[in-house]
Structure 1
Amino acid sequence: MSLSTSITEELLFSYFNGRATLLQKQWVEKWKEDPANEEIFYATLHKWENEHLQYQVDVNKAIEKFNVGLSANRPSAGRSSVGQKEKDADSSKWKPWLIAASLLIILGVNSYLFRDTIFYKAYSTSFGKTGLINLADGSKVVLNANSSLKIPRFGFFNNARKVYLKGEACFSVVHTPDNSRFVVQTDSMFNIEVLGTEFSVFTRPRQTKIMLLKGKIKVHYSPEKKQASVLTLSPGDLLTYSKKQEKPHIMKVGNPESSVAWMQNRFVFNDTSLSEILNIINENYGLTVELRGKDLIDKTLSGSFKAKSGDEFLESISQVLDLNMIRQNDHVILFNN
C-alpha cells in the first residue's frame, strides 16, 4: 500500500494530538517530505487546530475567585483582639500584591476574550450597501451587502497576507516582489490562496461559490471526517458547494463577470429559480418573502436589471414575472395577478 493512500485525515489528527504510533509517525513524516503533500498537511493541521483549541477560559470561575479573595480580606465587624490585629497587619502587607495579581489575571482573561478586537480590524456592510476596502499592500476588496472582512490591524506578517471573510466579496490582489501568499479564510471548509489575481467569493450558510476572473488560485478544501485536498481554478472556473452536495463542483462559465455585476448594482440571471432569487433578497436586503401560489416556486428568470435598493429589486421581479406585491415592514408577500 502506497503512502499517499494510507495517510488519512484521521491518521493526521492522531499525529497532531500525539496519539499516533511510532510507525505511524514515521509514515506521516516521510509522507509530508513530498512537496505535493505539503498543502494537504497544513490544511489538515489548520482544521485540527480549529477543532482543538489549546486554551479555554472559564471567565465566571475567574471572577468568582477574585470576589472570594476580596471577601476573605475584609475586616470583621466589632472589636478585634491584639492577635487578630497582628494578623490583619500581616495580611494588609499582602493586599496590594493580591489585588495586583487579581487584576493581572482579569486583564489576561480580557485580552484573550478581546484578542480579535486587539489584533484585527473589521469592516462590514449593512443590508443594501456595498463597500470598497483598500488594503495596505495595494490590493482592493469590494464587500457586497451584509458582509464583513477582518484584516490584521498591524499589517501582514510571516510571508502571508491573510484575511477573514463572511458573506460575499470581490478581490483584486496585487502580486508582491517577495511572492507573498494572499489567503482568504472563511467559516466554511474552504480557504483560498493566491499570489496575485482577481476573484469573487460567496460564503454564506446555504452555499459557497468561488469564481475566478483572472490568474490562478488554490482552494483548500477541508471537509469533516475526510481527507483535505487542494483544488486549482483557472480563469472562468466557478466552484460551488452546498450541504446537499457530496463534494465541490467546478464548471466553466462563459461570462464570469456576471458573478460580480452586483458591484454596479446590476443583477444577472440565467434560468434562475425564484427560490434562489428570494435567497438573494433575504441575504442582500434583509427581507423575508412569502410566496402565495402553488406554481410560483417553479418560476424561473433570465435576463438582467439594475436595482439600488430592495424596493427596486422587488419591483423589477414583480414586473418581469407579472406578480402582485404587498410589503409589511421587512415581510413581503408575492402572489399572482
Structure 2
Amino acid sequence: MNLPDYTLQDFLQDTTFPHWVYKTNPVEEQRWSAWLEANPDKKIVAQQAALMLIGISVVPTPIPDSQVQESWQRLKHRLAFQENAELLHPGKTTNRSYQQWSKWAAAFILFCLGGALFYYATLKEKQQIYRTNYGETATLILPDSSMVVLNGNTTLRYPANWNSRESREVWLEGEAFFNVLKKPGKGNAKFTVHTPEVNVQVLGTSFNVTNRRQKTRVVLNSGKVNLFAKGSAEEPLTETLKPGEMAELIPSKQKFTKRQVNPEVYSSWTHKKLIFQATPLADIVTLLEENYGYQVQVTDRKILSRTITGEIYIDNVNTLLVALSTSFNLKFENKDQRTLRITSPI
C-alpha cells in the first residue's frame, strides 16, 4: 500500500479504510495496520479520520475559566475588522439610475420616488452590515471590543456611529454567539440584541442567539440577560435567564419556554464542532437547511425520529455529512449543489 500523500479527506473517501476503523475485514484491517506502522507520521491523521467516521469523539478536558479569559484578552487586541474582510461580506447599497420621462407628470412622480429612495439609502448608509454565506462562520470585533461569532447564513447590523458610552444595539437574523464586555456610561451602557421577535438585553455576558423559521432561542453561558417580546396589549412578554438556562419563543404560542441545558451544546459550533445529546435527525435536517443551504429530501419520514449523541467535528460540510451518514447508518447523497437526499441503506 503506497499512500504517502494521504490527507484527512483521502482517508475518509477511501472505501477500504472503514474496515480498519470498524474491524469488519481482517485482510484490510491487517493491511492498514501494517501501513500505519510503516508510516507513523500518518497515524494522527488516520485517528482523526476514524473519529469522524465514528461520529463520536472523547470529551475534551475542561479549560479553566481564568485561562480562557486570559487567552481572550490577548486575542482581542490582535483582531481587527481587516482580518475578517475575507470572511465577512458587508452589505452594499445599490445606486439606481432613472431615465427621464417625456411627460411632466411622470417626471414629478419619479422625482418623488427618487427622493424617498435617497432617504432610505441614507438611512442604510448609517448602518454597518455583515453577512455570512451558507456553511461559513466568521468572527467580528465590535467597536466596544465585544466579540461576535456569526454562524452560516447570518446577518448582523449595527449603527455606524456607534457610541459605546450609550446603549449599544445590534440587529440579528440567523445565529450568533456573543461575548459582551461591560462598559461604563449612560444607563450602564446596556447591550441589546434585536431579533424580529425578541430583544435580548445584557450588561456583560456570553450567550448564543438563534433566530430561525420565526422562532427565537437564547442560551446563556455566563452572566445574566433579560428577554423582552411583544405579547398582548396589556401584558408584554418578559423573561430572565441565568447561566445554563435556555429560553425559546414561538410567537404563535405567546409565551417563553425555559429549561436547564448544557450551554456548550448550543455554542460548540464556534469551535468547529457539533455536540449532540439525543438529537433527532429532524433537528439535524433543519441545521443542514438553515446553516448550509441544502434542500433536504428524506425518502422515509420514520428515520427523522432517530437520534444521535456525541461530538462531530465540522472542518467542512463534506466531513460532516460523512460522519452523519456513519452515525445514523444512512446514505447522505448530493443530488446537485443544493439538494441533499437521505435514504436508508438497502
Normalised by the length of structure 1, the TM-score is: 0.66
SS at match of 1:146: coil
In 2: Cα distance, 1:260 partner to 1:193 partner: 19
Partner residue in 2 for 1:202: 210
Partner residue in 2 for 1:227: 235
SS at match of 1:156: coil
Partner residue in 2 for 1:52: none
Q: Percent identity?
A: 27
Q: 1:334 aligns with which of 326, 339, 342?
A: 342
In 2: Cα distance, 1:136 partner to 1:113 partner: 24
Partner residue in 1 for 2:311: 304
Q: How far 1:258 sits from its partner (Å)?
A: 2.0
1:250 equivalent in alignment to 2:245: no
SS at match of 1:283: helix
1:180 equivalent in alignment to 2:189: yes
One-letter amino acid of the counterpart of residue 328, structure 1: K
Partner residue in 1 for 2:323: 316
Partner residue in 2 for 1:277: 284
One-letter amino acid of the counterpart of residue 284, structure 1: N
1:155 equivalent in alignment to 2:190: no
For the 8 Å contact 1:267–1:306, the answer to whether it is kept is yes
In 1: Cα distance, 2:237 partner to 2:251 partner: 18
For the 8 Å contact 2:148–2:176, the answer to whether it is kept is yes
In 2: Cα distance, 1:70 partner to 1:292 partner: 58
Partner residue in 1 for 2:295: 288
Mapping of 1:16-165 within 5 angstroms?
68-69=103-104, 105=112, 108-156=115-163, 159-165=166-172
Q: How far 1:206 sits from its partner (Å)?
A: 4.5
One-letter amino acid of the counterpart of residue 194, structure 1: V
Q: How far 1:302 sits from its partner (Å)?
A: 1.2
CA spacing shift, 1:71–1:119, aligned 2, 3 Å: closer
Residue range with higher mean Cα deviation, 243-252 or 282-291? 243-252
More relative contact order, 1 or 2 (CA 8 Å, 6+ apart): 2
1:237 equivalent in alignment to 2:245: yes
SS at match of 1:223: coil
Deviations 1:104-151 (A, max 9, x none): x55531233324422101001001111111111111111001001001
One-letter amino acid of the counterpart of residue 196, structure 2: D
Aligned positions, number? 245
CA spacing shift, 1:301–1:67, aligned 2, 3 Å: farther
Normalised by the length of structure 2, the TM-score is: 0.65
Larger Rg: 1
Deviations 1:160-211 (A, max 9, x none): 11110000001111111211111111112x1011111111100112521101
One-letter amino acid of the counterpart of residue 104, structure 2: G
CA spacing shift, 1:195–1:332, aligned 2, 3 Å: same
- Gapped regions of structure 1 (runs ≥ 5): 1-62, 73-98
CA spacing shift, 1:318–1:116, aligned 2, 3 Å: farther
CA spacing shift, 1:162–1:71, aligned 2, 3 Å: closer
Deviations 1:57-114 (A, max 9, x none): xxxxxx9998643789xxxxxxxxxxxxxxxxxxxxxxxxxx9xx96x5553123332
One-letter amino acid of the counterpart of residue 165, structure 1: L
Q: How far 1:256 sits from its partner (Å)?
A: 1.1
Q: How far 1:318 sits from its partner (Å)?
A: 0.6
One-letter amino acid of the counterpart of residue 127, structure 2: Y
CA spacing shift, 1:176–1:268, aligned 2, 3 Å: same
For the 8 Å contact 1:281–1:310, the answer to whether it is kept is no
SS at match of 1:301: strand
